[in-house]
Amino acid sequence: MDTNVSNSWEQRDMQAVFHGFTDLGTLNAEGPVILTHGDGIRVFDVHGKSYIDANSGLWNNVAGFNHQGIIDALCAQARKFPGYHAFFGRVADTTVALSEKLIELSPFDAGKVYYTNSGSEANDTVVKMLWMLHRRNGQPQRRKIITRVNAYHGVTVATASMTGKAYNAEFGLPLPGFLHADCPHYWRFGLEGETELEFSARLARNLEELILKEGPDTIAGMFAEPVQGAGGVIVPAEGYFEAIRPILRKYNIPFIADEVICGFGRTGEMWGSVKYDMQPDIIVASKCITAGYFPMGAVILGKAFCDALMKVSEEAEEFPHGFTAGGNPLGSAVALKSLAVIEDEGLLGNVNKVSGRFMARLKKLGEHKYAGEARGVGLMGAVEIVADKKTKQPLPGHLQISERIANKALKKGLICRPLGQAIVLGPPFIITEAEIDQIFDILEETVDEVFADVGL
């Protein structure tokens, strides 16, 4: 063993932890941040410095970082029955209770829930469900998956192929048969003189052309986030889902709402797919389902799709798929409590109560000389930095403007996320208006300083 290892947590991290989704230039220059605990919307590092986490961890710590009720629910379940699987028709009682709750909360009249440990696994599971269903129904060629440019659906081989981000070229992805339709971002992709509704109609025509070109009977399903999250908080253009829904119906293409970020209140509604009237066949949930306190993903199958899948699974004797830890009762207890907290302790109500302040401050930041668009809904928002408001031309990439802003904000005790040339915010649902003001006060000061630093 290396006897020269320094004792600082930062150096120990640099020696022992391989970080994914981390800008390694920044990591090498600035070092990691090692956290010990949290309090409300704040987290604390090993030196006692506190940070407001304006991203709720990764969108998921919506009840803050030390919610006693959720912690107690976890501990109580740990004492009662800390672990079991969901194979062979066996399952923990708590997991049954959670399933009933999820169906009740869902827009479906009835259905069933399938458990995974993450959002990626949940989307990946749906791909296999679609493939098996179509294959058993005499359409083995029905395998292509449609998603959209800028979509984020996860990191497994299938879900990275579904994710519409350039970095997946590093892995030689997407795999063949994963198609990417247009991104519904009107500000970025709308044509000169085109209205928002015309834009949505054009995207719907393009989608139909894609389906016809590929062959409607080769398409297994289409996945969409209600609001694209990791794509930079892309709120769908007006009329977008209304325009594409009938096309999917026309060609019998199952529609899956990836609600991993939007689900359970982020947009101000329990479901983003209800807010935008997507009328999906399946809902995929994760992130907020356990308020970030336990790994869990859930595939919520609406009744019609569920019945069809049950039928072919019976023919095959089983649905041959499962994760060892899927449906773990600790996660189920945490989820039951988290959903109760969101519903009954007024967290969803608070999203709506403070969203006005959040959006107002976001729009104000959007008036900055170098802000192109300030967009968002509920408690998710982004400000896109541009070189020129009119042409929407981005600043030169080498300036790394959003990384600079995020790095400087971090020094001032604010965690926010650089995404391309945008700064993305998604604070915990427990946030107050005063705390929202604190976030934007720090951010405004930071933006001015960074533009001064780079000489703009």
Q: 336 burial class (0-12, 13-18, 19+ CB within 10 angstroms)?
A: buried
Q: Which of 184, 229, 254, 418 lies at the binding interface for ligand PLP (CB under 6 A)?
A: 229
Minimum distance, C-beta of residue 225 to ligand PLP, in the bound complex (Å): 5
Minimum distance, C-beta of residue 448 to ligand PLP, in the bound complex (Å): 31
Q: What is the dihedral of CA 282, 287, 288, 293, to 10 degrees?
A: 140
**Residue 124 interacts with ligand PLP (CB under 6 A): yes or no:** no
**Residue 145 interacts with ligand PLP (CB under 6 A): yes or no:** no
Handedness of CA 169, 171, 177, 179 (dihedral sign): negative
Residues touching ligand PLP, count (CB under 6 A): 15
Q: Which of 56, 106, 120, 150 lies at the binding interface for ligand PLP (CB under 6 A)?
A: 120
Of 74 and 262, nearer to ligand PLP (C-beta) is 262
Say which DSSP state 170 is in: G
Of 113 and 399, nearer to ligand PLP (C-beta) is 113
**Residue 409 interacts with ligand PLP (CB under 6 A): yes or no:** no
Cα-based distances in Å from 84 to 75, 79, 247, 293, 385: 16, 13, 42, 18, 48
Of 120 and 400, nearer to ligand PLP (C-beta) is 120
What angle separates helix 240-250 from helix 196-214, to the nearest 10 degrees?
Answer: 20
**Residue 406 interacts with ligand PLP (CB under 6 A): yes or no:** no
Q: Which of 261, 278, 288, 383 lies at the binding interface for ligand PLP (CB under 6 A)?
A: 261
Nearest-angstrom CA–CA distance, 231 and 365: 20
The total of other beta-carbon atoms located within 10 Å of residue 390's CB is: 7
Handedness of CA 12, 18, 23, 24 (dihedral sign): positive
Cα angle, residue 211 at apex, residues 206 and 217 outer, rounded to 5°: 170
**Residue 355 interacts with ligand PLP (CB under 6 A): yes or no:** no
Nearest-angstrom CA–CA distance, 54 and 63: 13
Give the binding range for ligand PLP (CB under 6 A) out of 89-97, 258-266, 322-330, 421-429.
Answer: 258-266
Read off the amino acid at residue 40: G
**Residue 291 interacts with ligand PLP (CB under 6 A): yes or no:** no
Of 258 and 281, nearer to ligand PLP (C-beta) is 258
Give the binding range for ligand PLP (CB under 6 A) out of 22-30, 147-155, 344-352, 437-445.
Answer: 147-155
Q: Which residues bind ligand PLP (CB under 6 A)?
A: 118-120, 123, 152-154, 225, 229-230, 258, 260-261, 286-287
